[in-house]
Amino acid sequence: MNALVERFTAALPELLADIETLVRKESPSSDEVAVAESADLVAALGARVLGVEPERIGPHLRWRLGDGPSRVVLVGHHDTVWPIGSLATHPFSVRDGVLRGPGCFDMKTGVVMALHAVAALADRTGVTVLVTGDEELGSPSSRELVEESATGCAAAFVLEAAAGTSVKTVRKGVSLYEVRAIGKAAHAGLEPELGVSAAIEVAHQLLAVAALSSPEVGTTVTPTLTQAGTTTNTVAAAGSFFVDVRVTSLAEQQRIDERMHELTPVVPGATLEVLGGPNRPPLPSSASSALFARAQRLGAELGLDPITGVEVGGASDGNFTAGVGTPTLDGLGACGGGAHADHEHVLVEHIPGRTALLVALVDEVLRETV
C-alpha cells in the first residue's frame, strides 16, 4: 500500500468521527439558524485540523493559508437538502463498510476530506479552502465569494461527491425561470365567457417552453412546479410555472434565455411575465481535461483503482470556478450514491485513497506554480 494511502487508512477512525460530527448537525439550507450553527461546527473542526481560524463571511468559511496569492482552491459546502428531524428517520451509521446519514454523501464527507488533505500537505502556502452554506439554494450569497476565491488560481478542486466512484469532468450550465400568467376571474358556471383563463394560458406556455429542449446537443428545458386558479368554480385569474434548464454550452444558454423572454400570450386578454435567467455557466471538458489526466496518473501512482470521469447534468460551485477561467476538477469527494435520497450513503473503503489523491493533486500543482 502507498505510504500516503496507508497514512489516511490509519487515520480513518478520526475522519469518520469528524464526518459523524458534521452529519449529526442538521443544516438545511433554508434554516438560517441551523446553517449558522453548522458553520460554527465546521469552523471549530477546521481550526482544530488546520491549526488556523477561518475567515467567517455569514454562513461561509474560508481558510487562506500562507502568504501571497492563492494558487489552489478547494471548494465545498456544509448545507444540505435534508430538513430538521431527518436524523430520526435516517440516523448516522457505519455498517459493513457503508456510512449513512443525511448529507453524508452530499457533501459533509467531502468537507472533512478537504480539511484533512490540506492538513497533510508539507507546505500549504497558496492553498485556499472555501466551505459555503448556501450551495443547495444555488449559491445566492456565496457566488461572488466562490468566483473571487478561484480567480487567478492554477486549479480548483471541488469536493462534491463522486458519481459512484467517478470524478465529474463535465457539468451542464443551469438557468432557472418562473413564467407568470395573468388573466381575469369569472364564475365558471354563470359567466365563464367574461373570464380570461390564466390556466389555459399556462397550458399553452408549458408546451411552448418544453419545445425549446434540444436533446441532440444536450439541452433540456423542463417545466416543473405548476399552479393556477383559486377555487374549482372560478376561471383562473393567475397561474405560474417554474422552468429548469440544463445546457452544455454558453451559446445554448443564451439561446434559451432569449427565447424564454420572447414568450408571448396566446389567450386573448392574458398577459405574461417571465422572471429569472442563467444561474450557473457550464463546466466544459476543456476546463477539466488536464486535471483529470493528472488525477488518473497520480491515482495509478497511489495504487488506486483507475480514476474514471463522467459527464453529469447536475450543477455545483465548480461551474462558477470554471466560469472564471480556472481549471476545475469536480466530484473529488465521497464515493457512494443516493444524493438527496433515502439511500444516501458513502463507501468507507474509498475515503483514504481519495483523500490521498487530493493531497497528491494539490501538492503537485503547488510545486509547479512556485
Concerning whether 53 is annotated as a catalytic residue, the answer is: no
- What angle do helix axes 3-10 and 12-23 make, rounded to 10 degrees? 50
C-alpha distance across the termini of the chain, in Å: 30
Q: What is the DSSP letter of 191?
A: -
SS3 category, 115:
helix
Rounded to whole angstroms, how far apart are CA atoms 220 and 312? 13
Catalytic residue among 18, 20, 26, 79: 79
Rounded to whole angstroms, how far apart are CA atoms 148 and 128? 11
Rg (alpha carbons) of the chain, rounded to whole number: 23
Among 281, 335, 337, CA closest to 139: 281
Contact 7, 13 (CB under 8 A): no
- What angle do helix axes 351-368 and 285-301 make, rounded to 10 degrees? 110
Catalytic residue among 18, 135, 136, 257: 135
- What angle do helix axes 32-50 and 109-119 make, rounded to 10 degrees? 20
At position 367, the amino acid (one-letter code) is: R
Contact 176, 276 (CB under 8 A): yes
Contact 321, 146 (CB under 8 A): yes
Rounded to whole angstroms, how far apart are CA atoms 81 and 86? 10
Contact 274, 257 (CB under 8 A): no
Contact 46, 74 (CB under 8 A): no
CA-to-CA dists, residue 51 to 78, 111, 234, angstroms: 20, 16, 64
Concerning whether 191 is annotated as a catalytic residue, the answer is: no
Q: How far is CA 242 from the centre of its chain?
A: 20
Active site (catalytic) residues: 79, 135
